[in-house]
Structure 1
Amino acid sequence: MCNRDMVTVLFPHLAAVEIEQVDRQDGQIRVVARTRGDPVCCPSCGTATGKVHGYHRRRLADRPVDGLPVVIELRLRRLVCINLDCARQTFHEQVPGLAGRYGRRTAGATALVIACALALAGRAGASLLATIGLLLSRTSVLSTLMALPEPPSTVPAVIGVDDFAIKRGQRYATIIIDAVTHRCLDVLPDRLGVTFAHWLQAHPGVQLICRDRSAAYAAGARDGAPQAVQCADRWHLLNNLSEAVEKLALAHRGCFRDIATGQGRDEGPTVRRTRSRYAAIHALLGQGVTNNEIARRLHLALNTVKKYARAPHVEQLIGGSKRGATLVDPFRDYLRSRRAAEPGVTVWALLREIKSMGYQGGSTLLYRYLGQGRAEDAPAPPSPRRVASWIMTDPAHLSPGRTTRLQEVLDCCLELKQATEHVRTFADLLTQRQGHRLDDWIADVRAGDLHPLRSFAEGLLIDHDAVVAGLTLPYSNGPTEGVVNKIKLLKRQMYGRAGLALLRKRILLTIARN
């Protein structure tokens, strides 16, 4: 391959000009080129002309070669328009596809800067470009990014809306996406219903809006697009139901505290003091005594009295077992039976035996475990949160051991058994898309005496139409939550130093293309 052919291969974008010289000097590659001298059309009247008024040079940064910067020194003509009626007398010659008017970089170099800016933003993008041989400041990278036009988009019939934190707990913004293609449509500067309503009014044509249980978005959708169907997200419905079940399990934790032994266990002094204090405080509250007076009579802090007064059940104030799982737990039954058969067996003998069975811990842990009497104790009762998770889990996905323990809990507590039936009925409504049965389910729950579930059911009535749509239609707000996850990655890349304008630009230009 001759030198001219090699230059053509390395610089195919310079095919429209004549390359006069390629050399390497001062740590960069310099390409000297000129235009071919063909007639050029006037940009005003379109008359072709080859009459030269003068020459000028442009220096263009090109894509690096072998890690070295490339500079193109291009000689261009200033031409005279031969049309005497044209308002433009002279004009500068341009090379189509090489660089834009007043540009300092070629189209290929600009595309490389844009790719790094979209992926890494300013400082990190400039560092990567410097590594490959294109030297730019972080502000130049950001300026190139901010100058990009936003992708054109038509408003789809189905959208998803959700909020994300700009500064957690202080500032939030709203993301709107196409719920079918998952493409980002817009980013709003806050999460107010009024702002969302204005966006909907400016973008008519939305037929269905997927959202969470937010009252602000519900009001914004109702005001901005009254013709649209609102669809509540199914995950949020299940999450709200799980919170109600956990509150119910917490209120009835006394029913299953002793299911491991089948009989009452001795309560420690802390538990006895809590029960006595709770009874005394609520007895005085029943007599109409104020919190301040109760605190004075019982010699308690006012916040302590308020905490006891707010608790509807004493079980909410009694903590569960603080003992966590240990490496000895799988061998508890063996240790119990072995010590019962031979009371004088040494700890070292037990250590050798359970090590042969797969025990990975040391002797200190075993000494402490046996000294605390945990080998003789029955397993601690499950926590209310654990019981709630068992109730909310599909029975087909529960292990046999957890199924047995859940049944023991339900046998001890009629209220939790009723709640489990309601939960599984609601799960059937959700999985089988039977939103028309929601009213019957709500009526059944409200007819009972399970207060947390009744509150949940009455909350569904407030958002009734959206909940029915969520239980019937195949759409959900899951894609919007996925976009919010990607936004968190963009935020972490910029270390929280970027403003909403830059974050919005990257969201629309990166997530929109994925």
Structure 2
Amino acid sequence: MPTSATTLLRAVRALPLPSAGRPLIVGVDDWALRKGRTYATIVIDLEHHRPLDLLPDRSAAALATWLRHEPQIRLVARDRSTEYARGTTIGAPGARQVADRWHLLLNTRQMLERWLARVHPRLKQVLPTTPAAASVRRTKAYPRAPAEVLTRAAAVERWQALYDDVRRRVAAGQSLRRINRETGLARATVRKYAFAPRFPRHGLRGPGPSILDPYLDHLSARLEQGCENAMQLWRELRGLGYPGTPKQVGRWLNERRTRPAKTTIRRWQRSPAAATTKPPSRPPLPSPKQLSWHLLRDPDELDPAAAAAVARVLQDGEAAKVVGLARRFCRIVRSGCGGRRAGSTAVAAFDTWVAEARSCGIRVVESFAAGLDQDRAAVRAGLELPWSSGQAEGQINRLKLLKRSMYGRAKLDLLRCRFLLAA
């Protein structure tokens, strides 16, 4: 039967939605209708593993309105959003709120990352416990072309200007929410700039793959033998199957020469003695985000480079205190939900941890502990009960698949029909 696309979409919108029944235990989470700009809310029936509804935004008013039509609900699993907490309190005051354990671990890592972003310049000055072993593996990218260097410098200048603007607004007494609204920066970026005493720069980032990597052992061996001819090394690599040009080999060799190349311009040449007088530099430190992952992982799972970075950071007294508190809280969260006895033990350990963290003298940790204390009932329920918002995360993945199958152009009403009917 031939028909137009508009008629088909109108028919889909007119289909009756399936009956959701009377859910008792639900989970709520947010999802991006347009990433970074527009967010909505998904509601899941945790007992029957099925979606219930899509709400137009992630505000407390929208969730409270939906919950008022379902007065029988007795438990709501959520993340630590204050909007969802307030909406649940207004719309279902008799329901018990459960903080999701995965989000508690995520918030802990984010707290550690915020602290690291502030003290990263200081931690860079800490000397490693053991000297780094020589390795032929690359620890940084190859030198960039002049045009790429200029582009990167211009981008840093733009971000520096944004940082200065945020700091001026904070000094003028503007709230972080207002700065986020007026500048258009992400909330996390505004918070990071507002509390950073200096412009936060990226730490060490792992180099990307290069076609030269499989031949680094051969290059290092030939360099030890005294060969510093880039064309000769390239010819040898070509015989081993290297598909690249001599330029990449020259870039690698330029950083390791003991004497100037014959083709080097005279005014650029330096004597070997001048090259050896350069003071040894401290090894680079991973970025705050990478460090936050390394510091919270099991030490037995770290590779030698990550373990050395962790040992270097933990020499700082304040870092040892912050990392110790973060690791303790992660152990408490993971030990919960192992039965009634394990849950009660985790709750008691959580109460002790909050009291200690709120008086530790470190602002970021105290703020994080104060937030947990305000949400104490939900966090304790998350440690005692097996419910979480994990099902909501899985349903969001399915929702994204449907959204992308329509090239991301579906309005919320059509996406809601397809999502609920497909369930």
TM-score by length of 1: 0.56
Question: Does 424-433 or 252-261 show the bigger shift?
Answer: 252-261
For 1:17, the equivalent position in structure 2 comes to none
Q: Kindly state the Cα deviation for residue 176 of structure 1 after the two structures are TM-superposed.
A: 1.2
Q: Kindly state the Cα deviation for residue 348 of structure 1 after the two structures are TM-superposed.
A: 4.9
Aligned-partner Cα distance in 1 for 2:114–2:380: 25
For 1:408, the equivalent position in structure 2 comes to 312
One-letter amino acid matched to 2:70: H
Instruction: Give per-residue Cα distances to partners, 1:29-62, cap 9 Å, x unaligned.
Output: xxxxxxxxxxxxxxxxxxxxxxxxxxxxxxxxxx
For 2:67, the equivalent position in structure 1 comes to 200
Counterpart pick for 1:419 among 322, 325, 338: 322
Q: Structure 1 residues 471 and 366 mapped into 2: Cα distance closer, same or farther (>3 Å)? A: farther
For 1:472, the equivalent position in structure 2 comes to 384
Question: Does 401-410 or 357-366 show the bigger shift?
Answer: 357-366
Q: Structure 1 residues 224 and 317 mapped into 2: Cα distance closer, same or farther (>3 Å)? A: closer
For 2:374, the equivalent position in structure 1 comes to 462
For 1:430, the equivalent position in structure 2 comes to 333
Q: Structure 1 residues 378 and 310 mapped into 2: Cα distance closer, same or farther (>3 Å)? A: closer
2:27·2:389 contact (CA, 8 Å) conserved in 1? yes
| Pair 1:383-2:287 in alignment | yes
**Aligned-partner SS, 1:447:** coil
| Pair 1:445-2:349 in alignment | no
2:203·2:288 contact (CA, 8 Å) conserved in 1? no
Aligned-partner Cα distance in 2 for 1:435–1:355: 64
Q: Structure 1 residues 468 and 347 mapped into 2: Cα distance closer, same or farther (>3 Å)? A: same
For 2:100, the equivalent position in structure 1 comes to 233
Aligned-partner Cα distance in 2 for 1:189–1:312: 35
Instruction: Give per-residue Cα distances to partners, 1:412-458, cap 9 Å, x unaligned.
Output: x2222222222221121111102332121122222323322222111
Q: Structure 1 residues 405 and 501 mapped into 2: Cα distance closer, same or farther (>3 Å)? A: closer
Equivalent runs, 1:26-425 vs 2, <5 Å: 134-257=1-124, 259=127, 312-314=196-198, 316-317=199-200, 320=203, 324-325=207-208, 327=210, 339=223, 342-343=225-226, 345-348=228-231, 362-373=245-256, 380-411=284-315, 413-425=316-328
| Pair 1:490-2:394 in alignment | no
One-letter amino acid matched to 2:58: R
One-letter amino acid matched to 1:404: A
**Aligned-partner SS, 2:54:** strand
1:210·1:476 contact (CA, 8 Å) conserved in 2? yes
Aligned-partner Cα distance in 2 for 1:230–1:221: 8
Which is richer in helix? 2
Q: Which runs of 5+ in 1 are unaligned?
A: 1-133, 264-269, 271-280, 291-308
1:165·1:173 contact (CA, 8 Å) conserved in 2? yes
Q: Kindly state the Cα deviation for residue 311 of structure 1 after the two structures are TM-superposed.
A: 6.0
Q: Kindly state the Cα deviation for residue 343 of structure 1 after the two structures are TM-superposed.
A: 4.7
Instruction: Give per-residue Cα distances to partners, 1:305-337, cap 9 Å, x unaligned.
Output: xxxx966544x4455468945646787788668
Q: Structure 1 residues 346 and 162 mapped into 2: Cα distance closer, same or farther (>3 Å)? A: same
Aligned-partner Cα distance in 2 for 1:490–1:162: 18
Aligned-partner Cα distance in 2 for 1:243–1:399: 22
One-letter amino acid matched to 2:105: L
Aligned-partner Cα distance in 1 for 2:239–2:112: 43
Which is richer in strand? 1
Q: Structure 1 residues 414 and 378 mapped into 2: Cα distance closer, same or farther (>3 Å)? A: closer
**Aligned-partner SS, 2:15:** coil
For 1:68, the equivalent position in structure 2 comes to none
Q: Kindly state the Cα deviation for residue 233 of structure 1 after the two structures are TM-superposed.
A: 1.6
For 1:510, the equivalent position in structure 2 comes to 422
For 2:411, the equivalent position in structure 1 comes to 499
Q: Structure 1 residues 232 and 344 mapped into 2: Cα distance closer, same or farther (>3 Å)? A: same
**Aligned-partner SS, 1:177:** strand
Q: Structure 1 residues 223 and 178 mapped into 2: Cα distance closer, same or farther (>3 Å)? A: same
**Aligned-partner SS, 1:252:** helix
1:163·1:172 contact (CA, 8 Å) conserved in 2? yes
Q: Kindly state the Cα deviation for residue 136 of structure 1 after the two structures are TM-superposed.
A: 2.9
1:435·1:468 contact (CA, 8 Å) conserved in 2? yes
Q: Structure 1 residues 394 and 262 mapped into 2: Cα distance closer, same or farther (>3 Å)? A: closer
1:193·1:219 contact (CA, 8 Å) conserved in 2? yes
Provide the aligned C-alpha RMSD in A: 3.8
TM-score by length of 2: 0.67
Aligned-partner Cα distance in 2 for 1:225–1:381: 48
Q: Kindly state the Cα deviation for residue 356 of structure 1 after the two structures are TM-superposed.
A: 8.8
Q: Which runs of 5+ in 2 are unaligned?
A: 133-152, 154-163, 173-192, 259-275, 337-345
Q: Structure 1 residues 456 and 356 mapped into 2: Cα distance closer, same or farther (>3 Å)? A: farther
Across the two proteins, how many residue pairs are aligned to each other? 336
Aligned-partner Cα distance in 1 for 2:420–2:221: 66
1:182·1:480 contact (CA, 8 Å) conserved in 2? no
Aligned-partner Cα distance in 2 for 1:318–1:496: 34
Instruction: Give per-residue Cα distances to partners, 1:386-436, cap 9 Å, x unaligned.
Output: 21120132334323442233223323x222222222222112111110233
Q: Kindly state the Cα deviation for residue 174 of structure 1 after the two structures are TM-superposed.
A: 2.4
1:248·1:450 contact (CA, 8 Å) conserved in 2? no
Aligned-partner Cα distance in 2 for 1:247–1:194: 30
Q: Kindly state the Cα deviation for residue 477 of structure 1 after the two structures are TM-superposed.
A: 1.0
1:311·1:317 contact (CA, 8 Å) conserved in 2? no
Instruction: Give per-residue Cα distances to partners, 1:148-197, cap 9 Å, x unaligned.
Output: 32212322221011233444455443221111332111233333322322
Give aligned-pair identity as a percent. Answer: 36
Q: Which has the higher contact order (CA 8 A, sep 6+)?
A: 2
